[in-house]
């Protein structure tokens, strides 16, 4: 039996109301891989700097919108 991989479905960035998103969502919106986002976080490079909340990365939606030029 093969394991099927289901792709996560993310809402349009304009519809996101939370102040932060997780790494997989940030990677989706910025068209990067999640591991690339984690590398940017560790090296403190990249267009968006994440917040660290209890050891987890939280990517500010406002900064993602600013980078992409999407106004809300």
At 61 the three-state DSSP class reads helix
pTM score of the predicted model: 0.85
| Distance of alpha carbon 33 from alpha carbon 23, whole angstroms | 9
Q: Give pLDDT, residue 43.
A: 96
Q: Is the pLDDT of residue 5 over 70?
A: no
Confidence of residue 8 (pLDDT cuts 50, 70, 90): confident
Furthest-apart CA atoms within the chain: distance in Å: 46
Q: Quote the CA–CA distance of 50 and 13 in Å, as a whole number.
A: 17
């Amino acid at each position: 039996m093969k394991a099927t991989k289901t792709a996560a479905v993310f809402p349009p960035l304009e519809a996101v109301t939370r102040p932060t998103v997780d790494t997989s969502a940030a990677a989706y919106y910025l068209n990067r891989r999640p591991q690339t986002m984690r590398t940017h976080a560790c090296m403190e490079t990249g267009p968006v700097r994440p917040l660290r909340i209890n050891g987890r990365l939280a990517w500010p939606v406002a900064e993602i919108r600013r980078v992409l030029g999407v106004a809300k």
